[in-house]
Structure 1
Amino acid sequence: MEKGNRVIILILFTLVFSFVFFASFSHNVSSKEASKITISIKSSPEAINETKLTIYQSKIIKEIVKSPLYPSKVVLPFTDTYITINQQSGVRRYLADQYGNLFDVRQLKKVHLPAHLQEQLFTYIEIIKRKHYGELLPWEEVDTIIPRKTKFQVIDLETGLRFNVQRRAGSHHADVQPLSKEDTKIMREIYEGKWSWDRRAILIQIGNQRIAASMNGMPHGFGALRNGFPGHFCIHFKGSITHITRNLDPGHQVMVYKAAGKIEQYLITLNPYDLVDVFLMSLNQNDKQLFKMLLSKNKYKEIPSLLVEMDKIDTISRTTIFDKTNTFNLMSFEIPIEVNLYWKEGGREKRKMNFLLKRNSVTDRWIIDFEELFTD
């Protein structure tokens, strides 16, 4: 960095793990004149918990604002990275993809950034993501970090709420219990006041280490602590399997990768059958961000109406047993299923769904298409 342009860095951590980066040049700039760029990471648009980096550096801001805009060949990305520029002239909002490409939200265009600036933004984004998300560690390693009777903290990725637990059992994933009645109360608050099998992306904090994980919110089995929690609940990590079927649970795994900020990395590994199950999970949990990520571009215009229909669903479960076919070399594949569907306003129906899964090459991930959400 040139002399006279030394950057002064001050990092402040907030209750939602936010930190703020102050950058100024050697000349004096009054607070009234100062412009700022804020980079925010959050796991979904609705998430309360976010990590922010605010930069007071006019050179970066001027370069972004002056960069030309081009029509984007892709729609605005489903992203966890939001960028806001505040100036006296107004506020500009952008989205950034995983490569540091910038998209103007108002004009729906891609910002053509100089290579050095795109690289600089990418570096900042990666720093914030490391603060926001957890390490993606395999179960075999986590098993040694949190042996039985270990106490640690659970942090809900979406809300930032945290509570204390103890691992009591579990050989293929962790069976844990809240430590106290207050911890049970916080866990129940995360699940909006009712116990649920819904999977949620979480971080477990032990010492200075944060590890990506997934929990369900349903007490089951036995519990030994006087905590007002009737049993234990499960926490899964990368590669964890269920104790009964000894299979990976795609719903838990997608939440583990979400907690690590690597959900795309997981989706690309899924075969069409597992992707359909993740799609059904998104309906069950009303996970709009995940739902949209799974869809073909052909469905993007229909997303608002699909989300309205999604909000009417209480639970949905597949009754069709998959007779799995090897799809390794295929570019498209059709999966018809039958489901039991329960509506929030009451009533149960048996419905059919027909999924057309497509990809552009064997190295691309599968995406989901359909004529209608339900075919009858």
Structure 2
Amino acid sequence: MLRSKVLIFCICLFVIALSMPHFAYAKVKNDITVTVSVSPESSFQTTMPFRDQNHFTKRLLRSSTVVASYNLHWIRATLTVKKRTYVYDHDGQLYEKEMPRRYVLGNDVRQRIEEMVKSVEAVHFAQAIPWEQVKKTLKRMEFGTVIDLETGQRFDVQRRAGSRHADVQPLTRKDTQIMKNIYQGKWSWKRRAILVEVDGTYFAASMHGMPHGAGAIKGNEFPGHFCIHFFGSSTHRRTEPDPSHSMMILKASGALAATIKGASPEELVGFFLTALHEHDTHTMRMTTDGFSLPEGLSSIESVRTSEIIIPSDERGPLLIEVPVRLTYIDREGGNFRRTWQFLLRREVPWDRWRIIAVELNP
């Protein structure tokens, strides 16, 4: 008798379930995830899940494909769809990660991918707010949190001074240790892309990692202060923004690729040399078509000056040479003055320029 009642009860539940809407009993799951980071080597990533809308997955998987490979350093986001991994680049192209295959996307599929990627980028990056506006929030003696976009490590600081940029100090000994860890245990003038959070508001910024000048926070074991630059900031000696800080602010705002896409040949070479000075291999490769960089670049410690020698009437619509006279210091301290030859190409007149070769001793 008891067994019969249990059987009748189970049948009733089954009938009720069939009569209910699908979402009431289906297992809730996210079919798509999108991941964004500032570079392929970055351990700091933002991943967001999305539900399949308007049969997006089905339309994506039915898209035709062509044989093609992607540039690792031109990736904008990684998508996981039904356990398959794709990379989406800054040109709006979608590739299968493990196979040389590019998908020919319909406008509706591409638009959906753009919407998802932009949603994640809005969380991962921050806006490049002008310094004149930032300093009204990050006032003198105000506290903030620095977030390194490559490692995700964060530490607290206090702005103590600075008119053209923020002169800040780590709050505690622990904050100083975290900052030094970001620079692999050695203080450095090299710039890094960061976010600065003040009372829940995030700003795209750039910092260097060298204590200098005076410090006033006792017990933090930081011998001086360091500088944080925001959009429009400059050094104490110059009124124009520092190129290295400007490049890192573009990275922190997620706008570096778009800026590179619109760069002239001379501007593109400038980004390459700035990235070389900062030992930012990822940004250097963003300016190229993926060719192997000359081995001699790895021995350069810093680029001191560079002067682009504009060729006379030799510029073509698809191919151009840009000679550059520069001085630099190698890792052993030697000073050099050389002229390098950059070769740039674009496929069609409305395409972006790419560096396809660098000749160090022409």
What TM-score bracket applies, with the shorter chain setting the length?
A: 0.7 to 0.9
> How far apart, CA to CA, are the structure 2 residues paired with 1:100 and 1:268?
12
- Tell me the CA shift for residue 93 of structure 1: 2.1
Structure 2 match to 1:254: 247
Q: Of 157, 160, 177, which residue of structure 2 is paired with 1:168?
A: 160
Residue 51 in 1 paired to residue 18 in 2? no
Q: Percent identity?
A: 34
Q: In the alignment, does 2:361 pair up with 1:375?
A: yes
Partner secondary structure for residue 179 of structure 2: helix
Aligned residue in 2 for 1:16: none
- Secondary structure at the counterpart of residue 144 of structure 1: coil
**Aligned mates of 1:27, 1:68 — CA distance in 2:** 35
Residues 77 and 95 in structure 1, CA contact (< 8 A), matched pair in contact too: no
TM-score, length basis structure 1? 0.78
Q: Counterparts of 2:217 and 2:69 in 1: how far apart (Å)?
A: 56
Q: Which amino acid aligns with 1:339?
A: T
The structure-2 alpha-carbon separation of the partners of 1:247 and 1:51, relative to structure 1 and needing over 3 Å to count, comes to same
Report matched runs for 1:32-51 at 5 Å.
36-51=31-46
Q: In 2 relative to 1, CA 319–97 (structure 1 residues): closer, same or farther, beyond 3 Å?
A: closer
- Equivalent residue for 1:337, pick from 312, 317, 325: 325
Residue equivalent to 2:199: 207
- Deviation of 1:197 after TM superposition, in Å, equals 0.8
Q: Find the partner of 1:84 among 74, 77, 80.
A: 80
1:76 and 1:95 in contact (8 A); partners too: no
Residue 145 of structure 1 aligns to a residue whose secondary structure is coil
Change (3 A) 1:113 1:277: closer
Q: RMSD in angstroms over aligned alpha carbons?
A: 3.3
* C-alpha displacement of 1:96: 1.2
- 1:68 equivalent to 2:64? Answer yes
User: What is the DSSP-based 3-state SS (H/G/I as helix, E as strand, rest coil) of the residue aligned with 2:109?
Assistant: helix
Mapped partners of 1:251, 1:330: distance in 2: 29
Alignment-derived partner of residue 9 in structure 2: none
TM-superposed CA distance for 1:341, in Å, is 3.7
Aligned counterparts of 1:239 and 1:360: Cα–Cα separation in 2: 34
Match of 2:170 in 1: 178
Matched letter for residue 81 of structure 2? I
2:302 is the alignment partner of 1:316: yes
Query: Could you tell me whether the CA contact under 8 Å between 1:39 and 1:125 is conserved in 2?
Result: yes
Q: Supply the distance in 2 between the matched residues of 1:242 and 1:123 (Cα, whole angstroms).
A: 38
For residues 216 and 81 of structure 2, the distance between their equivalents in structure 1, rounded to whole angstroms, comes to 52
Determine if the alignment matches structure 1 residue 117 to structure 2 residue 103: no
SS of 1:127's equivalent? helix
Give the C-alpha shift of residue 333 in structure 1. Answer: 5.6
Q: Deviations along 1:250-273, whole A, 9 cap, x unmatched?
A: 111111011011113433676666
Q: Which string of whole-angstrom CA distances, capped at 9 and with x for unpartnered residues, describes residues 143-166 of structure 1?
A: 212121111111111111110111
The structure number with the bigger radius of gyration is 2
Q: Per the alignment, do residues 76 and 247 of structure 1 end up closer, same or farther by CA in structure 2, a change over 3 Å counting?
A: same
Task: Supply the distance in 2 between the matched residues of 1:134 and 1:66 (Cα, whole angstroms).
Answer: 35
CA contact (8 A) 2:167 2:226 kept: yes
Give the alignment's TM-score, normalised by structure 2.
Answer: 0.80
1:151 corresponding residue in structure 2: 143
Picking from 26, 36, 43, the partner of 1:28 is: 26
Structure 1 segment 196-275 matched on structure 2, within 5 A? 196-226=188-218, 227-267=220-260, 275=268
Partner of 1:9: none
- The code of the aligned residue for 1:237 comes to F
Structure 1 residue runs without a partner (length 5+):
6-24
Alpha-carbon distance in 1 for matches of 2:263, 2:234:
16
Q: Of Structure 1 and Structure 2, which has the larger fraction of its residues in helix?
A: 2
Q: How many residues align?
A: 337
CA distance in 1, matches of 2:240, 2:352: 22
